[in-house]
Structure 1
Amino acid sequence: MSPSESKDTNNVAIIGAGPAGLMAAETLAQCGVKVTVFDAMPSIGRKLLMAGRGGLNLTHSEPLDAFLPRYREAAPKLAAVVEAFPPERLRAWCEELGQPTFVGSSGRIFPKVLKASPLLRAWLRRLDVSGVKFGLRHRWTGWDNEGRLLFQTLEGE
């Protein structure tokens, strides 16, 4: 990112290409913000793909008043977030990506294909169409004296 871009409030850098970073990028891009997602790893969504090895349990189908206490002591802090993006909304988001879900016998919700890779590929296509850019193998190391982001890359700092 050039110094002029770093001062433009319509440009945002997100550190981390995991599910939270990707969701932040999608949300901001839908609002017209130019987003670049940086990650130290050479690929996107690695932990999501690892979770997909077990079928990718996305969420649970139970009512929120039963679901939220599963977060134990963190429940009060997470309640507003979960209420803003409840399991039904997550399922609708998956459907929008062409990845239908189902409720298993345990009440857990999974993608019908029981894999993470189709969901991640569809999500990355949506991000690409939205103009989201990626800087992989960019380990964020802090800021310089002018407030610009610093990264360690294969080419150096």
Structure 2
Amino acid sequence: MRGLKKQRRIQVVAILTVALIGATALIGYAMRDGINFFRSPSEVTEAPPPPNEVFRIGGLVEEGTLVRGQGKTITFSVTDTNASVKVAYTGVLPDLFGEGEGMVGTGSYVNGVFQATEILARHDEQYMPAEVVDALKEQGVYVEPGSESNS
């Protein structure tokens, strides 16, 4: 009788272990396309990712580079003040998108141009995505909102 209980416990533990491993594998498989890594323009220019890799890029929209084409494609450059990457986006830009403003785009880097499938911009005058702030801080050019002096 005692040996039977011990054998049942071992079987239950083994089944639960296999189920846990299977569930973890399924979750990992499902999330493989949903994970987008963030890169700054400097990182993209130093080590260009392969064209089939989807990632996020962020920085400031470089002054004087925003061009609205004849169609729906908009081109501009995103910079972290150290390097710039040309971006092409087809679609409607967020209302607060503009030159000198922070942005984050999702897409892939093809033939030296970041082909964006989604563009996000700040949602108020003070907000900037954390990844963009971190990248600008690394370059030493980030100024905290409200800390500018009005001379």
TM-score by length of 2: 0.24
Q: Larger strand proportion, structure 1 or 2?
A: 2
| Structure with max Cα Rg | 2
Q: Larger helix proportion, structure 1 or 2?
A: 1
TM-score by length of 1: 0.23
Work out which structure has the larger RCO, using CA pairs closer than 8 Å and 6 or more positions apart in sequence. 1
